Every structure is written in C-alpha cells, then in structure tokens.
Structure 1
C-alpha cells in the first residue's frame, strides 16, 4: 500500500510507522494522519486507493471534540456556568431527578438519557433539536448525576440545547462562527454544498475469517450498549448507513455527524492549545487543565471502560493525564497534548476491526510522542 504526503525533517519515523501499518492491513484503510507540533504541521500523510489528504468523509465521534470545545470556550468566557443546573437554562429539563443535574455532569455523560425505549430513525437521530425535545421528557436509564455512561448519539444534542438556550444560536452555528471559520478548519458540522465534490463515503469493515470468529464469540451485547448505539431500534442502526445518510451529512449532528479530514482534526486541537496562523489559542491553560481533568472515575455504565471522560472529552491514557481528545467509530482519533504541544488527527474511511479506537493509533501515537519528546 503506497503512502503519500509529507513529513517535516526529524519526523520520518512517523511516516515509517504509518507505512508499516498500511502495508499490514488486509484491505485499503483509506486513512489520513496529520500532526501539528506547537501549531506547525509536521506530518501530513494518507494511504488508500481512493483517499488523499483533502478527502472529506464522516468522522463519527471525532465530532464530539469540536462540540465540547465550544462548551469549554463558552464556560471559559463565563457565558455558561458549568455548576448551574441544566434546568436553569432549559426549564423543560425536569423530572426523574433531571432538575438536579449540573451542566458539568451533563457534559461528562452523567444524565442517563442515552436514548428512548423505541430508539430513533436516521432522520430523527440526525436532528439535534428533535433529540433534545424528545429526551427532555424521557425517564433516564439511571439517576442523573449518580453514574456515567457514553451518550454515543445524543450528547451533542443535550449539550447543544444548553448552548442554544444561553446563546440563542445552535451549537453548530457557534462552532462555525467562533471556531471553524476563523481558524479555517477542514472539519464541519454540516457539510457545505460546495464541498460535496471532496466528500467520499464511509466504507464497511471487511473482517478476516479470524476476526469474524472473534465477533461471533463475543456473545450478545449488553442492554445499555445496544440502547446507546441505537441498535435496539427496529431495524437496528447501521453505522455506515448513518455516516453516509444525506440528512446526517447536511445537518452535522454534534454527537457523531461531522465531516472532515485528519488535517481538520489536528488543526482543531492545535487551535485549542497552540493557536494557528497567528491566531491565539482558544483555551487558556486553566481551561485546558479542567477539560483534561478526570470527571468520571469508575466504570462507564455503557461501554464498561474505566475513567473514561474529562469534561466531555475522552481521557488519553496512552498520551498522559494532561491530554484530551476523542476517538471515532471507524477507528480515528484526535487529541491535544499541552505538555509536548502535539495536536493529532487520524481518520479512517474504512471501519477498522472491531470498531472504535483502532489499534494502530497506539503505534502511531507512540511514534509521534517519541519524536516530540526528543525535540
């Protein structure tokens, strides 16, 4: 598998690691890797039969990084008070203990509102305003604020409704006006029509026979996991169909409906901690420390992961306690590490096995950090 793109002098080992991974993949990964160091692009690579550095596609929960950056920015500016009850901004958000939930607990996946019993259609789950109205009246799957669990397809709708109540603008609009457009990010919540020519669909996983055996041996999925990922809906959600759905692409739901490139993901995190092209960093050091701080000790009720979230962002144990970011279902990841100044973006158009954070991120991240720590 040919690897294209460039690396800055001194970063050649990252290209070697990326090429080794791409050569070992049984199917074209259609992957992109971009890294910025203190805001400067040092890695810009891609591999696949139908992908280049500018190819846009669905990035799933990498979108959550953009959404939670908006929340962090508004909290930093005092527009949003994380310690206030959600109901202080959103009066309809009451009942079953919801009125006691703080904004901070909501952003850290603590509401228990992971779905509704019947699930959602593709058209419904693409519409954050619809989701917010429906979930405000829903009984949570656990007492709000007493536990946490991954709100896979609805967290952006819930936090986005708080953003809308406090600013009068949708989370997508605030992101576009305050973050994406000023910093020129190739990461969109709602794909502009003029960029359709650069967009290519997410591709299905093509597991090997050994991987199929592993999938078959996994047994039935836990109920809350099925619910949070909308697999309890009839028919169950198809993740590839979701990402490629026209309404998802057009509306850019803030939980998992963004479109972008690895360049865009890396630039998002560089804008957060380092600034870009003469523009200052979006987040102050105290805010960076707050978003990275562990907010959810213990086990995730949905995914069973431990110590899963900072302020909406996922913890990054392979990087360090100061790092924050978010992965995506097809295998991608994005993170910022203020200690080394690294902003990392990795995307896949073809699902990696078994879905979620792809294992090659460990090797790629280690190669990136080794160079950065040696400089």
Structure 2
C-alpha cells in the first residue's frame, strides 16, 4: 500500500524523472521517513529534493562512514601537494606506528584497509571513540590482526584516526582543521567534521532501525561473537560495546567529528563536496586534478573482506563505487556510503556528484537500498542531458 508523500525542492530541466523516482521511493517507506537527495552535474546543481517532517534542504544528519570521503579528500590534497607520499611507510611520518610489526606498512596499504589494525584489545571507551588522537595513540602499539599487505578488512571506526594521525604528524594540523580550511569553508558546504554549537539546531537525531521480524532473524543469524574480528572492528569487544546506530546522537561525537564516522551533513553538502573535489562548482576550479582523482580511484583491495565477511572493493581511501554498489557508473568513480543509509560519490566520466541522506537507520546498515534506484535515474538523466 502506497501513501501520499510531499516531495519538496527543485530539479533542473531533464531531471523530472528523478523527482518521480524519489516520490516512488518515499511512498514505500515508513510514515516517519525524512531524507534528502542532491546532485551536481559538471559543477551545476541539478537536483535538490527533500521530504518528511521537520526537514528541509539545510537539515543536517549523521552520515556515519560517508565521513571517510571527506577525510580522504584531505589526504588526496596533501598527496597532490607533495606533502604525503602514498608509498612511504606510515612510520616515516609516525614513528610509533612501527610497533608490533607494522614498520613496513605504507600509507597506500593503510588507505586500502590492508594494515590489520582494526581495533584494540578491550575496546575503546565512548570518550576515546569521539577523539581521533586518542584512538591513534592506542592503535600505534597494537599488533596487527593479519600481516600487513596480505589481506584486507574494513577499518570501520578507526581508519580516519589512523590517516588523521599521519596528517597531523606531517603538517602539525588535524585533519578536521585542514578540511575546514581547504574544503568546507571555502565552498560553504553543509558537511561538517566537527559541528559548531551554533548549527546544533539544524541537526536531527537518528531514528533507530525498525526491522521486520524476518529482518530481525537475518540480523540474529549474522551476529558474531564479542571476540571476533568483526566485533573488534565495530568496538563490541569491550566493557561498553558501541551502539553504531546512536553514534551521531552523541554531542561529543558531533562536536569533535571523528574522521571515520563523525560527520554531519545534508545531501546538498555531500554532493557539493564531491562536485568541488572532482569537477569544480559553478565555474570554480576543481580541488583535485584529474590525475589525482584517477590515482585515488584505482582499485587496491578486492575480494573477501575479513571484517565485513563479504565481497568488497576499496580504492585509495574511498570505496570503488562503480565496482560493487553501482556498476552503471564509470570506472574510477569514488565515494563512500554510511551505516545509516547515506551515500555520496563522484563519477568523473559523467561529471555527476551525488548525495543522499535519511533520518531512520536503514536495514541492514550501509548504503540504503533505495540508493540503487535513485543513483541510476540521476545518472541516466546526466547522460541524456549531456
């Protein structure tokens, strides 16, 4: 049974089908749905839609691991500048990281989730999880869970802290500071790594997942023991196991903006960041050169992910978006999804930058299923309009 949903916002000529598809998606969702969809093509905003109670285009949501795209855009800028070298050892920048047999691990391997430092014995406290430098200090001495470079597994809650510590050691600035100065503020993006108090009124707390009985059974079947690699990576192995769904609802997490999961954004902010990075916006030069985009979009890890226990593909710091989630996109597309359902990416071949947010945590976690439909229709319109 469908229901009446009011979709607000605008689409450019040639993108009317996107509004229709967004409306169709919402009609199948729960009555408390709230979300946003935005897209840029070749630097021009072509989609800016939203729906649901207490929501407009400037409403901010927790975007979980979509934060990793912002974090690794900063790393890409520093590689482009020559400040960082992907093939130097992490310990070259951060000597303490050599402990436990990690001395030969390179920055490229780290960014490709190949180093095996996915968590710590005994878990992190909630205070530590909000603080990237505290996470990095504990991980520096941790023995890797596999020999670096021999396998890969999603460093879900810690990759931003690890790469952020490299950034700090190389520049004396935090990753969050550089993101604010070089990316967010110059482009006026509603995508924050560290939400200022004055913007708190725009944030909407995450609504927990509402699974059907069949979905609950699937979740129970997929559950792992507290000492499994999956539980270590998602910080379920300590005295205070992390509830991933509620992370963005913590003010310390929003305020500090941990670079793995702590970002707060609108769909417009997500899409705008990728547009600024890859195509430039409204005639401005792109932040990344085409060669840098190609370097960071090159597949580094493909196959069985030891943490997620599924087939995954990672580029350099980004998900290789066209190789797993959206095969209709051009090769070399870069992006990242978030556990609550958010999705953001750039497709250099079509010039498309896409952003999607939703308030209710989507089953089963990761890119919400409706993204496949929405991204496809936006991409088709981008190709048709040239």
Return the TM-score normalized by structure 1.
Answer: 0.97
Note the 1:61-72 alignment, pairs <5 A.
61-72=65-76
| Residue from 348, 366, 371 that aligns with 1:361 | 371
For the 8 Å contact 1:274–1:341, the answer to whether it is kept is: yes
Does 2:358 align with 1:348?
Answer: yes
Unpaired runs of 5+ residues, structure 2, are none
- Alignment length, in residue pairs? 375
Cα 1:309–1:347 shift into 2, 3 Å: same
Structure 1 match to 2:201: 197
Tell me the CA shift for residue 307 of structure 1.
4.5
| 1:17 alignment partner, SS class | helix
Tell me the CA shift for residue 29 of structure 1.
2.7
For the 8 Å contact 1:192–1:250, the answer to whether it is kept is: yes
| Residue from 287, 290, 299 that aligns with 1:294 | 299
For the 8 Å contact 1:132–1:158, the answer to whether it is kept is: yes
Tell me the CA shift for residue 96 of structure 1.
2.7
Does 2:96 align with 1:92?
Answer: yes
For the 8 Å contact 1:96–1:143, the answer to whether it is kept is: no
Tell me the CA shift for residue 196 of structure 1.
1.3
Does 2:15 align with 1:5?
Answer: no
Note the 1:12-91 alignment, pairs <5 A.
12-91=16-95
For the 8 Å contact 2:60–2:266, the answer to whether it is kept is: yes
Tell me the CA shift for residue 326 of structure 1.
0.0
Tell me the CA shift for residue 212 of structure 1.
2.5
Moved over 4 A (4+): none
| Residue from 342, 349, 361 that aligns with 1:339 | 349
Unpaired runs of 5+ residues, structure 1, are none
Note the 1:264-303 alignment, pairs <5 A.
264-303=269-308
Tell me the CA shift for residue 26 of structure 1.
2.7
Does 2:331 align with 1:327?
Answer: no
Note the 1:195-234 alignment, pairs <5 A.
195-220=199-224, 223-234=228-239
Tell me the CA shift for residue 219 of structure 1.
4.9
CA distance in 1, matches of 2:20, 2:236: 38
Structure 2 match to 1:115: 119
Structure 2 match to 1:142: 146
Query: Relative to structure 2, which stretch is displaced further, 298-307 or 147-156?
Result: 298-307
Tell me the CA shift for residue 252 of structure 1.
0.2
CA distance in 2, matches of 1:242, 1:218: 21
Tell me the CA shift for residue 327 of structure 1.
0.1
RMSD: 1.4
CA distance in 2, matches of 1:161, 1:354: 31
CA deviations 1:178-228 (Å, max 9, x no partner) are 111111111000001111111111111112233223333445469211111
For the 8 Å contact 2:153–2:308, the answer to whether it is kept is: yes
